[in-house]
């Protein structure tokens, strides 16, 4: 900032910004104080209590597709162990026979399994859902049946098999 020395009474062409800065600071403070009061609600979808939720029909459970990925990396479809190529063909066959709104597959992976292995199985499920035409899509949901991981078909008879909750 410079100062003029001398006695010249010439018109000064510079703008005095001090009042502008004062006004802007006052407006900033006003908006900072009022902005938390302007937000009165935030929309979210929270599930209701358990008693209000519709229970799944028992007739729908046999039609659910659950892909289990065990701790050693083996896979199973509805507790039937199979390798990944057979899993792909079984999923494609079963999904092609379904309507578009019923193309849902649940993936249950062991909690100690590496993230990349689970993603690889989910990609396989997505690819199987595309079908021959490539335009159909499938919804993939993550399920967790037990804390120890997915139930095996060769589990002891006294261990109850859990079914996924939709």
pTM of the model: 0.52
Task: Encode pLDDT of 102-139 as tens digits.
Answer: 788 888 888 888 888 888 888 888 888 776 655 567 88
pLDDT digits (tens, 9 = 90+) for 33-49: 988 877 777 677 776 67
What pLDDT shows up at residue 164? 45
In the CATH scheme, what is the code of domain 57-142? Answer: 3.30.420.270
Q: What is the token pair recorded at 8?
A: 């010249």
Closest by Cα among 148, 156, 150, 144 to 76? 150
Sheet holding 80-82, edge to edge: 80-82, 75-77, 65-69, 104-109, 139-142
What number is the average pLDDT over the span 14-33?
Answer: 92
Q: Cα–chain-centroid distance for residue 64?
A: 20
CA 133 distance to own-chain centroid: 26
């Amino acid at each position: 900032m410079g100062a003029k020395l001398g006695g010249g009474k010439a018109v000064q062409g510079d703008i005095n910004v001090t009042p502008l800065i004062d006004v802007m600071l006052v407006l900033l403070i006003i908006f900072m104080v009022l902005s938390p009061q302007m937000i009165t609600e935030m929309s979210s979808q929270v599930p209701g209590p358990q008693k209000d939720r519709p229970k799944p029909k028992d007739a729908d459970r046999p039609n659910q597709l659950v892909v289990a990925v065990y701790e050693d990396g083996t896979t199973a479809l509805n507790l039937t162990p199979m390798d990944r190529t057979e899993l792909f063909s079984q999923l494609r066959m079963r999904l092609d026979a379904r309507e578009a709104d019923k193309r849902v597959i649940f993936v249950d992976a062991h909690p100690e399994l590496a993230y990349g292995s689970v993603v690889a199985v989910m990609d396989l499920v997505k690819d199987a859902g595309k079908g021959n035409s490539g335009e159909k899509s499938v919804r993939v949901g993550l399920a967790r049946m037990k804390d120890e991981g997915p139930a095996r078909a060769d589990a002891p008879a006294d261990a109850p098999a859990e079914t996924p909750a939709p």
